[in-house]
Structure 1
Amino acid sequence: MFDYLIVGAGFAGSVMAERLATVANKKVLIIDKRDHIGGNTYDYYNHDGILVHKYGPHIFHTNSKEVFDYLGQFTQWRPYEHRVLGSVDGQLVPIPINLDTINKLYGMNLCSDEVEAFLASKAVKLGQIRTSEDVVLSKVGKELYEKFFRSYTRKQWGIDPSELDASVTARIPTRTNRDNRYFTDTYQAMPLHGYTEMFRKMLSHPNIKIMLNADYKEITSMVAYKELIFTGPIDSYFDYCYGKLPYRSIDFKFETYDQEQFQPTGTVNYPNEHPYTRITEFKYLTGQKHSKTSVVYEYPTEHGDPYYPIPRPENAEIYKKYQLLAATQAKVHFTGRLGTYRYYNMDQVVAQSLTLFKKLIAEHSPEIHLNGHRKTTSITS
């Protein structure tokens, strides 16, 4: 008899497994349909001995000290600030748009105050911001919207920005200084020995059993457990009774080149004429030294593994039906990007699962204080 059966060995499920096993002394079985732990952050050494991310680049960043310190129990960190260039008008310019982007594109030499006024002069005055298109037009105007955002968004999401929720492009800032970091979070780092090694340490507890290549619908009839934590697609759990929630997927094309460096920064975006959205070179992310280098080309598609929930009002309405149905399920808990149909970053998924863990402890094991493991061990120590 397991206390918890956890479906999915990515961040959402693994954090739940580790906390329940370590802090609450629960017996946990964590299963995954894939042949590895780590979910979409799984990394491995390819045939040339280069560490690559199987499901595209995953760059960790967070403003949460709790999340950073929690994961720090299972890995040393390698400081890393990600930088992205965009291929626009035959040039490579910084993304997000900043002072250098504008000066390079337009052949000018503006200062910060001047570029702020320049962007304000280009911005489209809109009464209400409803869509991703509205967000960008109101910040940088039509010309920069066409150069950087429209085609990229169409490729990435399969629909025009005018049909996407404002939250998608609201994530991308516009800067009037020369800061060319893609993220500005307080904590920006990569697991020193990779994500898979971090997950291995996270799940190496005697109370945790792992089963891979496992379909939970088969396992539930074979294994005795008290409660279920589900991190897979919520619509699949309910056999798509309200219809299928749409996702975007990606086809990854990996290439290894017989040279030390392929491109001038970690990621180069291709918003316009190319069929792929971006190329990422892994050695920037990992810090690995090697005479060769490996990159991945990303081709968004509507088929394949569910990666990105598509934020549109009609999809939110479908999810609400599933959410109401989920609330009626005794001893079943949903978490993660797929389990709650949210476009979350990695740190947000970790925070969500830590919050769910605290909720379960408060409900089921009040003798365990959340500032300690049975009054002795810090929850994030």
Structure 2
Amino acid sequence: MKYDALIVGAGFAGAVCAERFAAAGKRVLIIDKRSHIGGNAFDCHDENGVLIHPYGPHIFHTSGKRIFEYLSNFTDWRPYEHRVLAHVDGELYPIPINRTTINRLYDLDLDEQGVTAYLESVREPRDSVATSEDVVLSSVGHDLCEKFFRGYTQKQWGLDLSELSAGVAARIPTRANDDDRYFTDAFQFMPAQGYTSMFEKMLEHPNIEVRLSEDFRAIRSIVEREHTIYTGPIDAYFDFRFGKLPYRSLFFQHEHLGEVERFQQTGTINYPNDQEYTRITEFKHLTGQQHSGTSIVREYPRAEGDPYYPIPRPENEALFKRYHELAEATPDVTFVGRLAQYRYYNMDQVVGAALKAAEELIE
């Protein structure tokens, strides 16, 4: 059979493109090397009946009304505002840093104006902001940097703050008020029946054929199609012609605690300076599920393994640009998604990029 599009990868980027193509009357084959749809956002019930995210917590948030409304075609939503605490010197503090963090950490009683003045007094301005260290020091100064950022970054990226591009640290705000939400987007929800259920609805169109446990390399020369949409690592598509693009990977240690209703105060607790893991997430906070036990996951960053995070450094961006030039010279293939575009995208940004790419191709 000839397809209008072969889509490689059944995560957010691939599923959105498949759904849009199918809705436009086009015949689509979507494949994934894993045995399930949903990519890293795949969720399932563990052996104890708790809904978990095998590849770490995925918390949906967006300020894009169009993106939220599009996904609402495939799921109901559960309101959820994510909160994170950081374990520092044996105590738990809100992160992003806010008024509560400052007052409790330093035994102060500052109002918003006072916190703003305090941060102004400790920050270390930089003439130019090129690295994440520049961002953090110019925002919160040395002590808060050491307590909350440097150790976490070293574990997460295997690099010091001074070795990472400024955009990494710029993702985390600092607040003078008591807002303890991790995100401030207009739309903060979780799919009410889970992500996998949402993906199933996206891919149930009769124009979509799904094949799992399918390697693109094994079928790329066999499947007859008008166009390919590729959401995997861009360097792998070109057989690593210029060398491998660097990624950070993760190891997930899942644990179920029977007859424990709550393990921790918030959905996630970060460990910037203690432990080998970066954070612990308890899924029932995210899903709202009622269960007599609870399931948690510890995340251990590592250098080897499945690619999760493109490492944002100037030399890596330069290497990506060489692959991007190859992609631009391959008109019958569209590259979209975090790995294909070598971008540290949030889920909503992937959805937005996929919608844009699909619309342009369909037109």
Amino acid at match of 1:92: L
Moved more, 40-49 or 215-224: 215-224
> Which residue matches 1:379?
none
> Residue 315 in 1 paired to residue 316 in 2?
yes
Give 3-state SS (helix, strand or coil) of 2:339's partner: helix
> Which residue matches 1:327?
328
> Which residue matches 1:290?
291
Offset at residue 217 of structure 1 (A): 1.2
CA RMSD of aligned residues (A): 0.6
> Which residue matches 2:281?
280
Question: What is the count of residue pairs matched by the alignment?
Answer: 361
**For residues 28-47 of structure 1, what are the structure 2 equivalents within 5 Å?**
28-47=28-47
> Which residue matches 1:191?
191
> Which residue matches 2:355?
354
CA–CA distance in structure 1, aligned partners of residues 300 and 179 of structure 2: 28
Offset at residue 330 of structure 1 (A): 2.4
Deviations 1:143-171 (A, max 9, x none): 10000000000000001010000000000
> Which residue matches 2:138?
138
Offset at residue 222 of structure 1 (A): 2.5
**For residues 1-12 of structure 1, what are the structure 2 equivalents within 5 Å?**
1-12=2-13
CA–CA distance in structure 1, aligned partners of residues 279 and 321 of structure 2: 33
Amino acid at match of 2:169: T
Offset at residue 224 of structure 1 (A): 1.2
Amino acid at match of 1:100: T
Deviations 1:175-206 (A, max 9, x none): 00000000000000000000000000000000
Deviations 1:91-138 (A, max 9, x none): 100000000000110111111100110011000021000000000000
**For residues 360-375 of structure 1, what are the structure 2 equivalents within 5 Å?**
360-362=361-363
Give 3-state SS (helix, strand or coil) of 2:67's partner: helix
CA–CA distance in structure 2, aligned partners of residues 165 and 222 of structure 1: 41
> Which residue matches 1:304?
305
> Residue 228 in 1 paired to residue 228 in 2?
yes
Offset at residue 333 of structure 1 (A): 0.4
> Which residue matches 2:239?
239
CA–CA distance in structure 2, aligned partners of residues 47 and 218 of structure 1: 33
Offset at residue 359 of structure 1 (A): 1.0
Identity %: 60
CA–CA distance in structure 2, aligned partners of residues 345 and 133 of structure 1: 22
**For residues 49-68 of structure 1, what are the structure 2 equivalents within 5 Å?**
49-68=49-68
Amino acid at match of 1:247: Y
Offset at residue 267 of structure 1 (A): 0.3
Give 3-state SS (helix, strand or coil) of 2:30's partner: strand
Offset at residue 273 of structure 1 (A): 1.9
CA–CA distance in structure 2, aligned partners of residues 159 and 125 of structure 1: 22
CA–CA distance in structure 2, aligned partners of residues 337 and 96 of structure 1: 24
CA–CA distance in structure 2, aligned partners of residues 145 and 310 of structure 1: 20
**For residues 79-98 of structure 1, what are the structure 2 equivalents within 5 Å?**
79-98=79-98
Segments of 4+ in structure 1 off by > 4 A?
none
CA–CA distance in structure 2, aligned partners of residues 296 and 273 of structure 1: 16
Offset at residue 220 of structure 1 (A): 1.7
How high is the TM-score relative to the length of structure 1?
0.94
Amino acid at match of 1:86: A
CA–CA distance in structure 2, aligned partners of residues 167 and 106 of structure 1: 28
